[in-house]
Structure formats: C-alpha cells, structure tokens
Amino acid sequence: MRDTRAPTSAQFGWLLAAAAATLAPHAVELPYWLIALCAGLIAIRAALLWRRGKPPRQLLILLVAIAAGVGVRFEFGHFFGKDPGVALLAVLLCLKLLESRTARDLRAAVLLAYFLQLGLFFYNQTPGIAALALAGTLLTTTTLLSLEDAAARPAAQLRTSAVLIAQGLPFMLVLFVLFPRVQGPLWGLPSDAYSGMTGLSDTMSPGSISQLGLSDAIAFRAEFSGMPPPPSQRYWRGPVLSRYDGRSWRPGFSTLAAAPPYETSGRAYKYRLTLEPHNQPWLLALDFPAANIPRARYAGDYRLLAEQPVRMRTRVELRSYPATTVGKDENAFVLAEARRLPADLNPRSRALALEIAAKSVDPAAILSGTLEHLRGMSLTYTLSPPLLGTHAVDEFLFDTRQGFCEHFASAFVFLMRAAGVPARVVTGYQGGEINPVDGSLVVRQSDAHAWAEVWLAGRGWVRVDPTALSAPARIESGLSAALQEWDALPLLRRPGLDWLRDMRHRWEALSNTWNQWVLGYNSDRQRDLLEWFGFPQPDWRMLAMLLGVSATTLMLLLMAWAFAQRRRHDPLDAAWSRFSRKLAHHGAGRHPWEGPLDYGKRLATIFPGRAKPLREISEGYARLRYGAQTADPRSVRLLARSIRRLKLK
C-alpha cells in the first residue's frame, strides 16, 4: 500500500546520484555506444525531474530495452558471462530509472545498483575502485533512507546513512575474516571470465617478447626469507621451447610427473611467489624447485606447473636450488629434438657454425667458441629491432645486428644445433626489482626474457644467456640499463625519475599488502590467521562459533548504543514520578489527567493523617514545575528529599 506513493524529486535525485556514481567507473569497460545510451537515459530522467514531466510510455521503454539487448548480443556475441551481464545490468538500471513511478520501482533500481557495484570488482579490485564502490553504496543507502524519511534534510539523510554504514563496518570486518571461505568457482565459468590477461605465451615468434618489454604490469612478486639470489641468478623459468620451424619456437616433448626429475643440491632459496593471473599453468619458479609443492606438477624440462591455469592471484611457497645439476641422463628423444633444424634456412649461420665446430674438440669447446665469436660480432641490444625476412638468423647476425633477447637466444640455439650440440630456448622472466619499502622482489612483464640451454655430456643442461654477451647490464641491472638512449621505455623505467620511482615503490608495497590481505584472503590465509591468533586446526565449526560470538558481541554493542540515549534525566520529573510510584504502591496512583494540585487534594482525603506533607509536596512540585521562575536545583533537591522521607504509615 505504501510503496505505490509517487517518489519525491529529492528521492529521485538520490537515486540518480547513486546510479551515476555506480555507472561512471564502469565507463572504462563498457562499449562506447552503451555509455552514450546510459548517459542519455540518465540525462532524460534528470530533465524530466527538472521539468516535472511524466516518464515515457512503457512501449517506448520496452523498445529501447530490446534494442539495447540486440546491441549487447552483437557487441559480445552472447548473453552469458560477466561482460554482457554487466552491460545488460547497466542498461536495465537506466531504463528502470526512466520508468520508475513508485517507491517500489526505486527499491528495485537500488538493487540493480548494488549488483553493478559488485560488477565493478570483475575488472578491478584496487583500493581506488573499492572507495568508488563505497561512495556508491553510501548514495544507494541514502536513497533507501530517503524513501523512509523524506522529511529530513539531505545533509541529515546523508549523515544517517553514513552512521548506518559505519555501524555495518565492524560486521563486515568480522564476516570478512571469519566467514568460511569457499574456493571458487562453484561451476564452470563463462569463457570470458579470464579475458584480458597479459603474460608470456607458449610460442616465441619475433617480437613476442619485446612487446611484453613495454608493459609495466606486474607479473609476480617474490618474498624471500633471507637474502634473495643475486640478479645474475634470477632466472624464472617459463615455457621451454625446442621445436623450431624457421620462424617460431614451440614447446617440445616433455613428460609430466608428481616429482621432479632431479635431485636438488647446493644452496636453497626459500620464497613465496604471488602470481598475478595469466591464464597459463606455469608457476615461474626459480631454477630448480624442490619436491613436494602442493598442487603442483613437474615437467621433464624442469618447469613447475599448476594443475589449473593461474586464473586468480595465486600464492606458492617454494624452495629453489640453483646449483642443482639436471639432465645428465637426458632422454635420447629429447636430445634428438634439441638438435633438429629446418633444412635450407640461414646458410651463412650454418656455415659459421660448421666452421666453429671444425676448430673445436668437444661440445664445450664449440660452446665457448660460439660465444667468443658472437662477442666479437658487436651485436646491439634494442627493444625495437628491424624486421627480419626468411633467413632471420642470418639477417640478424650478419646484416642488421640489432636484436632483443629473443633474437640472441634464437640465433645462439640455431648456431649450436647447426654445430651438432643439443640446445633449446627457455623463456620466462629474468631479474626483478626489490621494493625498498617492503623488501619484496617485483617482477614485471617488461622483465620477460629468453635465454638458452645447452646439453653437455657429463654436465647435463647448462644455462647460457647469449644476451649477456652484448648487454651484460640487462642481466645485472635490468632492462633500462641495457637499452640504448633512443629506445622507448616505460615512463617509470626511465632514469632521472627517482622520486616517481620512490612513490611507485610505496604505492606498490601498499597494494601488495592489499593484495595479500584483502584480495588474496582465502581459506589458506584464513587458517593461517586463526592459527596465528591461537586457534589450532580451525574448521568450519570453529569458524561458525567465532562468527556467532563476534556477531552477538557487535549486536549487543549496538543495542547498548540504542539504549544509551534514553530520556534526558530531569531531577524534578524523576522526583515527581518517584512520588507517584510510591503512592501507587498504597493504591493511590496519579491519574494521567490529574494535575499536581488536584492530586494533592485527593491524596489529602485518602490519607487524612498525612494530609499536610502530601499537599506540601504536590504544591511544591506544581510551583517548581509551572511557577514563573525556573526551578533552582536546591529547591528541587529539597523536594526530592521530602519525597524520599515521606512515610505513609
């Protein structure tokens, strides 16, 4: 009955503000035509509100809805999934706004706005987005409040909803920490759930890694317990590429097992990787990870793989032993694959390789001879190498002489294979930057790298980084140090912007904390935290109990607050009600309509023996309460005392 009232323009105003605040951050993700449509619909609603016009016909709204639906279908190709879902919700919210006639419609629009606030987190969960969503929540809550309390001033409405949200925050905190976390997904996610992730791919063609070199996005973070390894040992292993078709490198044959195909030895580095989602299975461990890593598998080419592609921020606790010897007894098939080359390509390089091989006694000598030769060729390391033709290695080595790590690795492996030595390309990340604020090692997409592995009898697979020959600084100090002045660099990697880098370090340390404790809070974190608080082996029963206890405590605190603001205690009123109560015990309570003087008279007839004090008290009260002068505290105290001392028997 109540909800059919037409909302006031103030109530509409709140909802419009809430809708605009909710939709604005979505503008980054939504298609342009949809943003224009939503903005237009909101503007029409605002104009109608301004001119006190009526909402448009239902049929028109239905037609716009159908058109928007068709548009979404064309834009995304389907209706299911987060992108079309968010787009449809945005259109729905705007149309609901336009057609709203009753308070009930406004409530429905508020629910849509809440869904859209959740939808923001599909794309982005930074503190900034959280703050925007919180502002949206404040406005939607104010909309609900204005529907109930239209008479209050807008500032008071805003304040009340802020109080409500402030009171909701402790509940949020308790639930966030203690609500049993379920590791999603609950069912198969739509195909677009993980779109838009950057990272290495499992093939390497010219330009694929230098493209990543321009991206400042964080690939993963590593927190070492103890000293991190020196920069020259920070090789994070990704895809290992053994098949070459003259243009692209692809992964070769590899086994997959629950245990590593090597025995670790030497010094260990213990660290925790926090991987940004990249939608691929590799875990990018330092060479060579130890056994018994939960939910991980070991590839024959020494990659560490997750059971599922890494689709959300993932933490892995790792130990790596860089000094481990690997592949002494390598499979003949793998070695054959590591020697294979496509025929009729790069004749000049082949000739060079054969020339070096002829001068060498064994593969180790071929290796050092090739490196020696490459060093003498004065190759240049650059982010923007010239394009290469069919004989890519020849052109790089003898004509352009400019290349990125992928050219160096590719050319080196080609030479080794041409000379008959098994070799392969390894991609991954190299280096990383220590954030001085929290000490974590940050590895970015721009640290993506390609190097080589050569198999030597008796020594197994040996890592060789041909890039180091021309640009040793790349390995020691990272990309920016190795590049020439004319290379375009990500802004924050440029030298001379120390203050900017410092600010970024702080910001990234903060967002790392945010990532670890807010975004990455999952069942493991929950267990760790509870154990840290001294609850051993927390299970769901323990969680439920803690949750119950905390929620009850909070509720009791709120109730205490509700009771705290009782009537302001007026001593005169208190004394007078004490008097009435006292006489009520003797069967002579005051009637509600009875004034003090009449009451006094009546009491005098009921208790003739105490007539005098009774009349004195009632007259005294009347004088203090209704007299011309305000009651002075002393007389009030005297009256209260005579009431206390009054004896009726």
Query: Which residues contribute to the site for other proteins (CB under 8 A)?
Result: 1, 3, 82, 104, 107, 111, 114-115, 117-118, 121-122, 125, 129-130, 133-134, 137, 141, 144-145, 147-149, 151-152, 160-161, 164-165, 167-172, 175-176, 179, 181-187, 189, 193, 312, 518-522, 551, 554-555, 558-559, 561-563, 565-568, 592
Q: Which candidate, 403, 480, 465, places its Cα nearest to that of 206? A: 403
Q: Shortest Cβ distance from residue 577 to other proteins (Å)? A: 11
Alpha-carbon gap, residue 220 to 215, rounded angstroms? 13
Alpha-carbon gap, residue 641 to 624, rounded angstroms? 14
Alpha-carbon gap, residue 483 to 568, rounded angstroms? 75
Tokens of 104: 């009930």
Q: Shortest Cβ distance from residue 595 to other proteins (Å)? A: 14
Residue closer to other proteins, measured from CB, 320 or 515: 515
| Paired sense of beta strands 441-444 and 448-456, if any | unpaired
* HSE, side-chain direction, 13 A CA sphere, residue 92: 16
Alpha-carbon gap, residue 152 to 367, rounded angstroms? 83
- Tell me which residues are annotated as active site: 405, 449, 465
Residue closer to other proteins, measured from CB, 79 or 179: 179
Residue closer to other proteins, measured from CB, 116 or 209: 116
Environment class of residue 58 by beta-carbon count within 10 Å: exposed (0-12), middle (13-18) or buried (19+)? exposed
Q: Shortest Cβ distance from residue 105 to other proteins (Å)? A: 12
Distances (CA, A) of 548 to 379, 417, 542: 68, 67, 10
Residue closer to other proteins, measured from CB, 13 or 81: 81
Q: Shortest Cβ distance from residue 164 to other proteins (Å)? A: 5
Helix axes 82-99, 32-51, angle to 10 degrees: 20
Q: Shortest Cβ distance from residue 140 to other proteins (Å)? A: 9
Q: Which candidate, 86, 41, 83, places its Cα nearest to that of 64? A: 41
Alpha-carbon gap, residue 33 to 95, rounded angstroms? 15
Q: Shortest Cβ distance from residue 165 to other proteins (Å)? A: 6
Q: What is the DSSP string of 79-143?
A: S-SHHHHHHHHHHHHHHHHHH--SHHHHHHHHHHHHHHHHHHHHH---HHHHHHHHHHHHHHHHH
Compute and round to an integer the Cα radius of gyration of the chain.
38
Place of tokens 């002075």: 632
Residue type, 364: A
* HSE, side-chain direction, 13 A CA sphere, residue 378: 1
Alpha-carbon gap, residue 423 to 333, rounded angstroms? 13
Residue closer to other proteins, measured from CB, 118 or 256: 118
Residue type, 416: M
Alpha-carbon gap, residue 490 to 476, rounded angstroms? 19
Alpha-carbon gap, residue 465 to 482, rounded angstroms? 14
Residues 260/504, Cβ–Cβ less than 8 Å = no
Residues 89/122, Cβ–Cβ less than 8 Å = no
Residue closer to other proteins, measured from CB, 335 or 559: 559
Q: Output DSSP code: residue 520.
A: T
Residue closer to other proteins, measured from CB, 224 or 521: 521
Residues 416/452, Cβ–Cβ less than 8 Å = yes
Q: Shortest Cβ distance from residue 119 to other proteins (Å)? A: 9
Please name the residue ranges forming H helices in 515-648: 523-532, 540-564, 571-585, 596-606, 611-626, 633-645
Alpha-carbon gap, residue 300 to 114, rounded angstroms? 49
Q: Shortest Cβ distance from residue 172 to other proteins (Å)? A: 4
